[in-house]
Structures are given as C-alpha cells and as structure tokens.
Structure 1
Amino acid sequence: MRFNKLDLNLLVALDAMLAERSISKAAERLHLSQSAMSNALARLRDYFDDELLVQVGRKLELTPRAETLKESVRDVLVRVDSAILAQPRFDPAHSDRCFRMVVSDYTSMVLMPHVLALASRQSHTVRFDLLPLLQPPLRELESGEADLLVLPTEYRTPGEHPWEVLFEEQFVCAVWNGGCFAQAERLTAEQYAAAGHVVMQPSGMDAPTRASWLKRRYPGVRRIEVSSFSFAAVPYLVVGTDRIATMHARLARLARKSLPLRVLPAPLPSPAMQQTLQWHKYRTLDPGLVWLRALLQEAVRHMDAELGAAPTGGVSLEQASSK
C-alpha cells in the first residue's frame, strides 16, 4: 500500500532500524534477511533524500532528519496497531497474545502470582512479559514496547495517558526475631533513628536525586548500613542482625511466612504508596487491555484476602484526582 508514493510497509522497517540503530538487528527483529533490510533502507533514503543512518566508527547513528522521524513513525504505527489492527473483541480462551507489563520486583512477588493464577483459569495460551523499570517509562509506553505500567504514582508518566489507582500500600518495619528488637511491641522514634537500616534505592539515580528519594521514603533514618536495588531482597538482609528494614506491608507479611521476622508498626509517619496502572491513550478501548485491567483489580482482592490486608484497591481516576 502506498501513500504519497511511499510504500507504507517501509515504515515498519524504518521504525525497527531507528530503534535498533542496526540493519542486522532490525532484520532479525522483523524476521527478514539482511539484504532485504538493506534494500528497504536504500528505498527510504531515496524517498526522504537523506541518509537516515550513517556510520560513525563501528556504530550507526541517526541523522537529524531521522531523529525527527523517529517518534512520528512510532506514533503512526502505534495508532495503526491500536485502532485498525486491534481485534474487536478479546477471548482469552482462544488468544495467544503476550501482554508486556513494566513492574517492580515487589509487584512481581505480591500481586503477579494472583494475576497469573486468575488468568490461567480463563486461558492456557495468553502470555505475560514482565519488564523492569530501566528507563523513564514514558518511552516504553509511547513506543508500544509496554502495554501497561504497574508502578507507584510518582513513576507514572505525566500528560494525557490515562491511569487508575490499583491499590494503596502502607509501610512497616521488619526486624529479625532473634535480635535486640525481638520482644518489642513497637519501635520508638529514638530506637528507629539510632538503629542501622537496610533500604532499597532505585538504580540509575544521581546523588542529589537518590538523597532526596531516601529522605522522603525513609524519614528519620540516619544510618543506612545496607542498600539494595531489590525490594524482594530487603527482608532477607535484616536476618541475623539488629538492623531495621522499612518496607511495604504486603511484602513484609509475605516474607514473614518464610523468614524469622517480626513486623512492627513504623514509628514515624510515612505517606501511603499508591500503586497505579497506566496505559497508552490509544489503547483505552483495547478489549485485551480492558480484560487485563479488570483481572488486575480482581487479583488485588485475592492478594489481600490471602495476606490478611485491609482492602484498598479499586480507586478510580476521578477519585484519585480528587484526593
């Protein structure tokens, strides 16, 4: 199919080459031969009257014209995928769709097992690809590389992409049940401030951002003795020590099932975390994502029933915005 003398199939090739910055990797991604991809690049260069990709040392770099095309081409393809190629209905029992979700290891441990169990009751062919947060999530959402973001409110992408609150989470303190706080009913502010702490801090932050994040997430903490990139690792790192881990309440309840821990109230106030779902504005009516979003809300109820947590899910965008 052509539009203004451009073979629209070439846009798919162009998108892959601009994303991969490699002819061979783009060819592999689209299951084409390298010669076919090279031919596509030649035709695109002729149409746009621009090199698009140029050799710089051992790498291919985008020309200024290619940089301006990159986001526009991706946007066009996402629109086509969501509005034209999307199926009018979604039947999980007969679908082999792969849902790509950006999640933390916390979400992977406390919520995703319930999502997968519920999904398996309806389908043996639907698949899930759980992606880490390694870059600003806006890029993965707008590029179509992720179908859903399951992240705290502060990580959701600003702007016009819709979102809803999935559940709220409180923070508690986990301590080793053989340590100095083993008999405590609660920690005083003085004990909390004087103790050594195990904390989680996201990777990729510069020093000022990291410091402000730690101060906000762990108020009153003075001695950070162990830091980890993983939420799931934190409760393991207090065992055998007198350190304190301030962590998600649901994850602490789950960890207590297999670790010698006591879970105590946090002595200093910490704002609740809102875990949100966010999706691309073009995919609000995607039947598959409508099914998945409802499945996630149901999974929250199953999660809280198992962990004995107070139900906090199901807050709408309008409710969240009015808080």
Structure 2
Amino acid sequence: MRFKGLDLNLLVALDILLTEKNVSRAAEKLFLSQSATSGALARLRDYFDDELLVQVGRKMVLTPRATALAGKVRAALVQIDGTIIQAPGFDPATVQRTIRIIASDFITISCLRSAVRNIGREAPGLVIDIQQPAHKPHEKIERGEVELLVMPELYVSPDHPSERVFSDGYVVVAWEGNTTHGTTITEAEFFAAQHATVMFETHTPSYEAWFIKNRSANERKLAVIAGSFSALPFLIEGTEYLALMHRSMAEIFAAQMPLRIIPCPIDIPELVEAIQWHTYSDSDECLAWVREKIMTAARNS
C-alpha cells in the first residue's frame, strides 16, 4: 500500500534500519535477506532523497535527515499498534499475546510473582516476559519495545501515564549465626560493619545506596557488590556482613533461610514503586487488565 508515494511496508524497515544502523542486523530483525534489505534501503533513499545511512569508517551513521525521522517513525508505529492493531473485545481466556515488563528482581519476587500466577490461571495464552532494568528503560517504552515499566516513582517519565503500585521500607538483614550483631543495631555499629550491596549493570546504585551516599556523612564499608537484590541473602549467609533490603523481600527470604531482620538505624524514606505505560496504550484492554492484576497482587501482598 502506498501513501503519498511511500510504500507503507517500508516504514517498518526504515525503523529497524535506523535503529540497528547495520544492514545485516536489520535483515535478521526483518526476517529478510541482506539483498532484500539493501533494496528496501535503496527505495527509502530514493523516496526521501537522502542517503539516510552513510558509511563512516567501519560503521554506518545516520544523516541529519535520518536522525530527525527516527523518533517520528517509531512514534507512528507505536501509535498504530496501540490505537489500530490491538483488537477490541479483550477476552482473557482466548487472548494470545506477550506482555513485556521491565522490573527488578525485587519487584518480581515481592509483587509480580503472585500477579503472574493469577494471570496464568485466567489467561493461559498470555505470556509475561519480565526483563531486568537496563540503560534508559524509558526509551524502551517510547519505542514500543516493552509494554510496562514497574520501577521507583521518582524515576518514571512525565511524558506517559503512571500509577502508584505500592511502597516499601528498609530493614537490615544479617545471617542468623552472626555473632557481632543482635536484634538491634546503632547507626555507629551499622557503619562499622561490612556490607553487601547492589549495583546495577548500568553502574547505577540502588535507591538505598544512593540515599546513604548523598544524605549521610558516613559511608558503608562494602565487602561485596551484587547485580541483583535476590543475591544479597546468599552473600551474607555464613558471614558477619550486613545488607540493606526491602522489608517485603527480606521477610520472604527470612521465612526460608537462616536470616535475622533488624530495624534499620538510618531513616530512609519508603520507596514508592509505580507502573508506567505508553500514552498510546491507554485504550489497550489487555494491558489495562494486566495492570489491574499487578495492582491487585500488590494490594494483597
């Protein structure tokens, strides 16, 4: 189909070419041969009267015209998907679809696991694809690469709708056999101890680590740095290390492992978690249903 002389089938090819900046990788994403993808690029160059992608050294870069087009093309495709392609009359029992969610392992364990169980019982054809937070998760929402973000409210984008899911406080967790620390701990003892903490793949500190670093005159003595919250209980087991953990997650692990939960001597504000989706997905009945299942699970956890 052509619209004002443009073959609309080429829009998807244009989007992937501008994202990958590589004909071979774009061909793989498009499930086309490299020659067919090169042909699509040639037709796009002809239509826009612009090279779009130019070779610079060993890589291809976008021309100024391509840079200007990239965001607009992606936004158009996301809008088409959210407002035209998604069929009305959503039925959980018959839906066949994948919902992609960016959420930390803390969110997955504390909230999403029960939501996933409930979703699976009512919508057996619905696949929930949970992805770990990566660099610039908002860009994945913008590009339609994921449908939902579940993350701290202070990090959500003001450009898309969001809703609070739940809030959680912090506790200190120690191995039950820890002989240095009992059921209470002072601030001085807290900072004198060695700690296990979390640092994400993007080298971004966790919220509690950021808070202590920026709001406290003292710094923790770090013994081990993990890439996930769920690793912390295993790393402190059999040691004198301490770990700051979300209360709900600490309680889940303490019910299964020899751990001691100690009130936190640092007044860290509760972390408010929010769920966010693309503006164009507001009318997506399936996505609204999934959000409600997540909200219900959070209220009941």
Q: State the TM bucket, normalised to the shorter chain.
A: over 0.9
Rounded to whole Å, the distance in 2 between the matches of 1:277 and 1:140 is 14
1:127-276 correspondence to structure 2 within 5 Å: 127-157=127-157, 159-181=158-180, 184-205=182-203, 212=210, 214-216=212-214, 221-276=219-274
- Alignment CA distance shift 1:225-1:217 (3 Å): farther
Bigger mean CA offset, 132-141 vs 211-220: 211-220
- Give TM-score scaled by structure 2 length: 0.93
The verdict on how the C-alpha distance between 1:291 and 1:216 changes in structure 2, with shifts beyond 3 A counting, is farther
| Corresponding residue SS for 2:77 | helix
Same amino acid, percent of matched pairs: 40
Specify the alignment match of 1:30 in structure 2: 30
Q: Which moved more, 1:193-202 or 1:258-267?
A: 193-202
Question: Partners of 1:257 and 1:210 in 2: how far apart?
Answer: 23
How far the C-alpha of 1:181 sits from its partner, in A, is 4.4
- Name the CA distance, whole Å, in 1 between partners of 2:267 and 2:278: 34
Unaligned ranges ≥5, structure 2: none
Question: How many residues are matched?
Answer: 300
Q: Which residue of 2 aligns with 1:60?
A: 60
Cα deviation digits, residues 66-123 of structure 1 (max 9, x gap): 1111001001111111111121122121111100111111122222221211011112
Partner of 1:318: none
Which residues in structure 2 correspond to 1:89-100 (within 5 Å)? 89-100=89-100
Residues 146-197 of structure 1: per-residue CA shift (max 9 Å, x gap): 100000112212x220101100011001011111246x23212222122111
- Distance change >3 Å, CA 277–CA 206, structure 1 → 2: closer
**1:214-268 per-position Cα deviation (integer Å, ceiling 9, x unaligned):** 5158885432222222111112111111121111111111111232110111112
Which deviates more, 18-27 or 71-80? 18-27
The normalised TM-score by structure 1 is 0.87
Deviates more, 1:67-76 or 1:81-90: 81-90
Q: Which residue of 1 aligns with 2:284?
A: 286
Q: CA RMSD in A?
A: 2.2
Kindly indicate whether the alpha-carbon contact (under 8 Å) linking 1:195 and 1:243 is maintained by their aligned counterparts in 2. Answer: yes
Decide whether the 8 Å contact of 1:228 with 1:234 is kept in 2. Answer: yes
Counterparts of 1:295 and 1:149, CA distance in 2: 15
Seen in structure 2, the aligned counterparts of structure 1 residues 81 and 100 have a Cα distance that, compared at 3 Å, is: same
Amino acid at match of 1:243: Y
Alpha-carbon distance change, 42 to 104 in structure 1, aligned in 2, over 3 angstroms: same
| Counterpart secondary structure, 2:27 | helix
SS in 1 for 2:230: coil
Q: More displaced, 90-99 or 19-28?
A: 19-28
Greater mean deviation of Cα atoms: 211-220 or 34-43: 211-220
